[in-house]
Amino acid sequence: MDPKNLLVREYLRVSKDRSGRGKSPDQQHDENVAALMHRGWDIHAEPYRDNDRSASRYSKQAREGFAKLMSDLEEDAFGAGALGLWESSRGSRRTGEWVDLIELCEERGIRIWVTTHGRLYDPANARDRRTLLEDAVDSEYESAKTSKRLQRDMRSNAEKGRPHGKKIYGYRRIKDSETGALVRVDPHEEEAPVVQEAARRILAGETFYAIAKDFNERGIPPRRMTMKAHRQGLGWTPPAIKQMLTMPAYAAKRQHQGEIIGDAMWPPLIELNTWQKLQIVMSPPERKRTNDWPAKHLLTGIATCGVCGAPMRIGKQNAGRRKDKVTGELLPKPVDENGNELPYPFYNTYICVGVPGKTGFHVAMRDSHLDAVVTELVLARLERPDFLAMLGERGKGNDDERQALLAEIGKYQEYLEKVRDEAALNLRFDLLIDQEARIEPKIKTAQKRLEKLSEIDPFVLRLMATGSVRETWEGLDLPDKRRVVRAVMTPRVNRVEPDAKGQRGINHERVDVVWR
């Protein structure tokens, strides 16, 4: 018999929502409302919601709504008597996640309503629990079959020469006005000539830089518009020109997982034999890749200009002629042991390389100053106890779940400290050993989940695990230090403020940071 006066809080999810308006979750909500009102139940005003988020184990996207649901259940902040789902697969297609959800609902005395079943399940009831678990296994199995089918379809489409994913610069997709089905792929009237011009000019001996500069001066829109604020305004760059011309698609060849597997359904913008010659010109076998050379400075190519977003390189800054401390007169140039004049003293500085075809450079900063600022920022960040919870873009990652995991780890550690104090007081070290054996695996499990959510370079995690970040940092070689900085942040150097001109020493205010 159904309970009376039951408050139900929904979890709404859809895997694909190309409109971005959450239409499918709204439809789920409408059907849930109709079913629940028929039973005289109330609906919580704040449902959990994930738009365009797959619950498959093959998905790499975070589900913020689901993370919030699990966090609220763990903290006993769910605020309702039942969890409402349109169908069980809306909850999760991962058996492990589904089991965790069922167990939390059982612990909190929360039932699970499934609209398509027309049933209210009690996780504490053995038969209901079995039904819910069977649904989880079935959902994960269907998800696995779907993933395999999609992989086969992608391979089949590639073998047939059909496009996949984002539109290829230089081409226009023509679709049926009624069905929306792809009819053909034609060269784009404005973009295709850009690709062909770049290829001709490279074969004629021009540099990537010269072409990028010319494209920017002519106001040709870049091939891809970046969404990252600190990279906007770059326009065409030498690497962008090279990356574009390495694509087999322009020779009308279809690529799948890095392998050319057949002809594409669209016409070539560059004939195959010309494209093959182009690859040799751009990357001759005898040429050593420049990025194989070891870096000599911490932030070369990592620090960016705060004005145009371009990377910064090392340059030399004349330190000027020294003056006599008493008279103020200029001292003569230094000389060697044979009396020959030596160059004026200089120091290294990071300078903006500018954007091809645009005014540059914009900023410069002494290398030792910028290295000191960035090093301290990185180390201070890594030493923060909540570092892993801060990783990722605000509002788009697993922030709630990270915070919940940190709170969980903190509670375990706090409990163990109390047990240690009690064991020491009562000489009950058997109790301590027993509780450590029970609790420490839970801490490790939560830490592994936290690290997995963080999506950070494993090298950084190993550095943090040493427990002495600063000491370990001092022992790292330059490539490893650069690896850590890249994984954690992008420093941006701004212009000197008018009231700060002439200031000596390190100016921390000039450096902004984009954290990972």
180 in the same domain as 145: no
141 in the same domain as 39: yes
- Are 165 and 186 in contact by the 8 Å Cβ rule? The answer is no
254 in the same domain as 210: yes
218 in the same domain as 115: no
247 in the same domain as 175: yes
CATH value at residue 274: 3.90.1750.20
Which residue, of 269, 290, 311, is where some domain finishes?
290
470 in the same domain as 324: yes
Give Cβ neighbours of residue 23 (< 8 Å, ≥ 6 apart): 17
Question: How many structural domains is the chain composed of?
Answer: 3
Could you tell me if residue 175 is inside a domain? yes
509 in the same domain as 471: yes
CATH value at residue 24: 3.40.50.1390
- Compute the half-sphere exposure of residue 2: CA atoms within 13 Å on the CB side of its CA: 18
Write the secondary structure of 304-317 as one string of H (helix), E (strand) and C (coil).
EECCCCCEEEEEEE
109 in the same domain as 28: yes
Could you tell me if residue 419 is inside a domain? no
- For 249, the domain range is 171-290
Helix and strand totals (H; E) in the chain: 15, 16
Q: What are the pLDDT tens digits along the chain (516 aa)?
A: 567 789 999 998 775 544 444 447 888 888 989 999 888 899 998 999 887 544 334 344 556 888 888 889 988 899 999 999 988 765 555 667 788 888 899 999 999 998 988 889 998 998 898 888 887 777 666 656 655 665 565 555 655 556 666 788 999 988 888 888 888 889 999 999 999 999 999 888 788 888 988 999 899 998 876 544 445 557 888 888 998 998 888 998 887 665 777 788 889 999 998 998 888 888 765 444 444 345 789 999 889 888 877 888 888 776 655 666 677 776 676 777 777 776 666 788 999 877 666 655 688 899 999 999 999 999 998 888 767 656 543 334 455 666 677 778 778 878 888 888 887 777 777 777 777 788 878 877 776 666 555 556 667 877 887 778 899 999 888 888 988 898 888 899 998 877 755 567 788 889 998 887
Could you tell me if residue 470 is inside a domain? yes
pTM: 0.43
Give Cβ neighbours of residue 346 (< 8 Å, ≥ 6 apart): 316, 317, 318, 319
Instruction: Tell me the CA distances in angstroms from 469 to 213, 385, 447, 461, 481, one per residue in order.
Output: 43, 12, 18, 11, 12
Could you tell me if residue 479 is inside a domain? yes
272 in the same domain as 231: yes
236 in the same domain as 136: no
283 in the same domain as 247: yes
Give Cβ neighbours of residue 47 (< 8 Å, ≥ 6 apart): 9, 10, 11, 12, 29, 84
